[in-house]
A and B are shown apart, each in its own frame.
Chain A
Amino acid sequence: MNKIRLVIQYELTTLFARKSYLRMVFLMPIIGFLVYSAAALINRGIAPEGVSAFFGGSPTESVQGVVDYAGIIREVPEEFEDKLELAASEAQAQRMTEDGRLSAYYVISSNYLQSGEILYVQRDYNFLSTENEAAALQELITWNLFSDKQLAQRYNDPIQPKVIFMRERIEKDFGGPQNFWLPYGLMLLFYLLIIGSSSMMLNSITQEKQNRVIEMLLTSISTDEMLIGKTIALGLAGLFQTIIWLGTSYTLLILSGRQFALPESFVLPPSILAWGLAYFLLGYGLYSSLMAGLGALVPNPKEGSQATLVVIFPLIVPLFFSNLVASAPNAPLFVFFSIFPLTSPISMISRMSATAIPAGQLALSIGLLTLAIIFSIRAVGRLFRAQALLSGKPFRVKEFLQAFRLHGT
């Protein structure tokens, strides 16, 4: 036990001192925040005050103008003052926009009540600009059209549902192409996390083989102690990375939701974070043990990275279909992917973001994944022996698969 602790301690301190690991952990979140910031900057229009204005949040920058030729806006209530400002004419609105006092303006046509026609004039092209931004104007118009404020409130926010599930399987109400992003993003995120963490196992073993340290280690610790120590240490490192990445994703989604008025389909329920951690750990358990088996058989890191495809291929397959998860999360194919142990670590989380998963499927998925981990660890434990670790033979796929077939049972 003490030697396992020493292996964990060594692996963790070495890993956390490695720039490449720290880059991997923190670079993605930093890129995420940069992309978000850039998108937010574009969304607000290019601030004349520069980036500091963006971070400071110029109060006038997000205000949009309204030119009302229909004469329906009698009043701008207080709660709309930081969003919308009435302009007397298009010329005035244009000047204010050019001056940077408005980010854009709407022109409500004189026959609006008959045609519903509204012109939206924006200072700069903004790819993130959508009809969602018109939500404030829509509320303002409603507020003015209804004489009863409460009625206007109900019209704008008609239902406050209390949901009671009679059946386990409740489809979320998704519509629109944007639904694709969250399940796809989660699948990709978990793919990167699981493969990234499991690859650290392969890398650690092959480096020790290449440095010839493995022979020194084998005279001091058993292969089981080595394997357990590495699995725990690299799992903790992977968990740290997962928490950072998931936390960042969650924060970015919340920020983006506020900034870009993202629809409901982009909201990541906190329970998914908990399931995400569980599936990460199970996925890591399975794939790191497979990588350990691979590491025992490949002679050096170069061949190791080439042979990785043998192990990660099952995890790649769901990615081919990931764009369809959102539209058909309960299609038999995705149900299979989310239950089959080699694909479930990334597929279940992806499905979870698109639909409510029946408890039976969740239990089956976790049960099978746990069994697969036990099977894999037992097989790899037999593969992870000195003779294989000290061998310099080139890697053969057949040998790897055969070893699993023989020893796994």
Chain B
Amino acid sequence: MKRRVSVVECPGGPLLVRGADEVVSADGSVAAVERSVVAVCRCGRSDRLPWCDDSHKDRAKRKKKRAQES
């Protein structure tokens, strides 16, 4: 059976990825996918990149990021 890989967008949150083997980050580091579904961070605030750790909701982190950007 052909394996299906899918990516689901969660507005304001991560990407849900099913069926992938690995996630390659911009710096070339490879994270192996060890779950049937993973949440890939999109905001860059996660302490566990490439995985989402819900930091997009962390108010202190949001403020810090805004301060860095301005």
Q: Do A and B bind?
A: no
Q: Residues of A at under 8 Å CB distance from B?
A: none
* Residue positions of B touching A, CB distance < 8 A: none
